[in-house]
Amino acid sequence: MHRSQPNAAAAGTITLGDATVNRLGFGAMRITGPGVMGEPADREQAKAVLRRAVDLGVTLIDTADSYGPGVSEALIAEALYPYPAGLVIATKGGLLRPGGAWQPDGRPEHLRDALEGSLRRLRVDRIDLYQLHRVDPRVPIEASLAALVEAQTHGKIRHIGVSNVSVDELARARTVARVVSVQNRYSVSDRTSDPVVDVCARDGLGFLPWFPLAKGALANSRDARLQHIAHRHGATRAQVALAWLLRRSPAMVPIPGTSSVVHLEENIAAAGLRLSDEEYEALVS
């Protein structure tokens, strides 16, 4: 299984607003430098990963202005612009990186400036999916989303998403904007956002799990169940963890990230792995 490289389309599709994408995407956080700061050690290698992702059928690439900052978005444009038809570039705003930390800033004026920066770096006039990266405790989520809705009415945002939200925060966001997706931390070993996943499935929203491999821990997990299922399929543990996510909900759009073409190909191969009911349930318990 892990030697094959099926197209990402093998995972099926999901429609976010009016954009249909394959359900196995690519997260472009790790193409930056250490600590998600600065330039990667090898820019050409980073761009090769992005191009290979598209070759393998990835139609959703997720990034953020805070990755680098700005580095991930610039690399995506360098590697892929002009973008192929059907490729959705999703980015996020609302986090600053002082000293490498992650500091929320959901002020409308900051989000407007952040959006302009992303448009410039990605070389587009409109962002396909623009997501509030994190709720700022100093700013009501309604105020942050109102700024994105305003930009949407001006044609600068195609669809709006939110990230790192609770069920209540998602409901509040949806009183202001038509939200098409949620991006929260989620994996087979971290199911804190189960209630949010269920809301997304019920209401037809996409759910983009970040750290879908638990920051790589699942790839090296000694969990006997994960190892047994991987051995049975001739797959890697990471592939089983991704296949579990795809099985978990039709709303799920995993976006595993890597700076390696080899690991990218292994991740995309998970699109062709089908878990039995017994295997799926064994990993839930």
* Mean pLDDT value of segment 248-258: 97
Cα separation, 223 vs 40, whole angstroms: 32
Q: Is 68 left (phi over 0), alpha (psi -120 to 50) or beta?
A: left
In the chain, % of residues over pLDDT 70: 95
How does pLDDT run across 117-176, given as a tens digit for each residue? 999 999 999 999 999 999 999 999 999 999 999 999 999 999 999 999 999 999 999 999
How does pLDDT run across 25-78, given as a tens digit for each residue? 999 999 999 999 999 999 999 999 999 999 999 999 999 999 999 999 999 999
Write out the catalytic residue numbers.
67
Cα separation, 57 vs 272, whole angstroms: 13
Cα separation, 75 vs 24, whole angstroms: 21
Superfamily of domain 8-284: NADP-dependent oxidoreductase domain (3.20.20.100)
pTM of the model: 0.95
For the chain, the domains span 8-284
Res. 219: pLDDT tops 90:
no
